[in-house]
Structure formats: structure tokens, C-alpha cells
Amino acid sequence: MIKTAAVQLDSVYGSAGENVKKGVSMIKEAASNGAQLICLPELWNTGYVLNKELLDKLAEPPEGKTISLFRRLSAELNVVLIIPFAERGEDSSYYISAAVIDKDGSLKGIHRKTLLWGDEKEAFRPGEKEYTVYVTSVGRVGVLICYDAEFPEPARILALKNAEIIAVPSVWSTKAERRWDIQLPARALDNQVYVLGVNASGKNLCGKSKLISPFGKITGEAPRSEEHILYGKINKEEIKQAREEIPYLKDYQLIAEKHE
């Protein structure tokens, strides 16, 4: 059994120092309560910044101070962390990214958001559409950032690569709340994986971070409008059970072969 924590926090726009301090505190609290896999929301350390001048001050490479800090914290607390951040690429472009850090502090990889929403396209560059499954001490983890999860194909690609858990760090609005409630359980059920949706809280955001089982059941959900650490439990045997009872992935191969 793996204990998860979705850290639903309200970021201060443009105040990386204040946000990082809060993020560290909430991660330490989650770890002290036994969480083994902890995920923060999309762009939590900067706020939802789409201003290029401000991004020039706040964005960092993966080897920058923010991810380096959380690599040390991961090793100190013996937890797996998924840490989204505004990434400055080698070409000086900006990406909405998430670092996957194993419990020994090793960086397993960086997922760059592949499908940008609205005005994000003006500030950020999309990542390459390569959906990686990261092999960690808690299992095989995939990451989809916010809008990535609104399409069935990315989650299916991760499932076909034997993902067990898909983390979805997000900044999801109240206007799109219904989609959050429908699409995340659908991604879990369609692929018989656990989905950990980690939303931000704050003005015009719907909150409601949630853990969803491979049967599409919401096993826990955070409040709509306040900071909260949502704890959940993952039982990998349930993945096997769901795939035996509902053979979507097995029967999908019949469709795929027919249309090759």
C-alpha cells in the first residue's frame, strides 16, 4: 500500500520565495503523516504567470535552486516528489514542467506540458509529445500537466507503457470544474490506473484535488476553495483486478491492430 498526498495550495502570484517556503512546509507535514508520494500543483512556486518579463526572473533550469532544494528535501524525508515549475530551457524558451524526484533525491526526469491552454501559448513552448513512465521506488509514475489530461491519448500512451499512477498537477478553473470532475475519473477508468489530480486553490480555481482508483472511483477529494493536503492510498493489486474485470487495454489491442 502506498500513501499519497496531493498538496492543494494557494500560490502568491510572482512570489517564489514565499511559495517555496509554504511548499516545503506542506511537504514536511505530508511526510510526517506517512505520505510516500507527494505532488504539488502546476506552477505552484511562481503562481500562474504568463508574463514573459516576469518569467525571465522566475523561470529556472532543472539544475536551478528550486529543484535542487527539493531533491535534497526528498532525500531528507525519504519520499517521492513531483515538483512542477516554470522551466527555462537551454534555448531560453519557457516550459511548464514537472520534475519527478525519487526518495534518494535522484532526478528521474522532467515532463514538459505538451498541450498548452489558451494564452499559455504566448508565454510557453510545448514540450515534445513523448510521454514517459518514470520508474520510482513507489512504482511506475506518469505525469500529465493540466490540459494534457483533457485528451484520452496521452493517458492511454502512459497506460500502454505500463504506468500504474498518473499524476495530474493543475491550475484548473471553476469555469471548467465539470470537466475536472468528468475527465480525471475517465482517464483512470479507461486505462485502469490510479489518477492523482492535484489542483491549486484560490480565486476562480475549483480546488477539489482527488485520488481516483483504477475502477474510476473517487476515493478522496479535497475542498473546493481552501488549502488542503489530501491523503490517499494506492493498492497496486487493484490495478491488476480492474484490468482482469474490465479488459479495456487487452481489447484495445484488437482495435489498434485492425487500424494499423
238-254 pLDDT, tens digit per residue, is 999 999 999 999 898 77
- Does the pLDDT value for residue 46 go beyond 90? yes
User: What pLDDT does 225 receive?
Assistant: 84
Stretch 138-157: mean pLDDT, rounded?
Answer: 98
Element (H, E) at 199: strand 194-199
Tell me the sheet residues that pair with 210. 197, 221
Instruction: Return d(Cα 62, Cα 167) in angstroms, integer.
Output: 19
Q: Is-contact 138 95, C-beta < 8 A? A: no
- Does the pLDDT value for residue 50 go beyond 70? yes
- Does the pLDDT value for residue 260 go beyond 60? no
3-state secondary structure of 106: coil
Stretch 181-205: mean pLDDT, rounded?
Answer: 97
* % of the chain with per-residue pLDDT over 70: 98
User: What pLDDT does 54 receive?
Assistant: 96
Stretch 171-192: mean pLDDT, rounded?
Answer: 98
User: What pLDDT does 206 receive?
Assistant: 97
Q: Which domain covers residue 25, as residue numbers?
A: 2-258
Q: Is-contact 70 102, C-beta < 8 A? A: no
User: What pLDDT does 130 receive?
Assistant: 86
Find, among 137, 124, 26, the residue nearest to 146 by Cα: 124
* % of the chain with per-residue pLDDT over 90: 93
Q: Nearest 5°: CA angle at 77, between 73 and 78?
A: 110
- Does the pLDDT value for residue 182 go beyond 90? yes
Tell me the sheet residues that pair with 230. 6
Question: How does the average pLDDT of the chain come out, rounded?
Answer: 96
Phi, psi of 240 (to 5 degrees): -60, -45
Q: Give the count of domains, the chain.
A: 1
CATH number at residue 35: 3.60.110.10
Q: In the chain, what is the straight-line distance between the N-terminal and C-terminal CA atoms, in Å?
A: 38
Q: Residues with Cβ < 8 Å from 215, sequence gap 6 or more?
A: 188, 189, 192, 238, 242, 246
Find, among 228, 234, 156, the residue nearest to 199 by Cα: 228
User: What pLDDT does 255 receive?
Assistant: 73
Instruction: Return d(Cα 193, Cα 171) in angstroms, integer.
Output: 22
User: What pLDDT does 57 receive?
Assistant: 96
pLDDT band at 131 (very low <50, low <70, confident <90, very high): very high
Which tens digit of pLDDT belongs to each residue from 102-122? 999 999 999 999 999 999 999
Tell me the sheet residues that pair with 99. 83, 110
CB atoms within 10 A of CB 146: 27
- Does the pLDDT value for residue 139 go beyond 80? yes
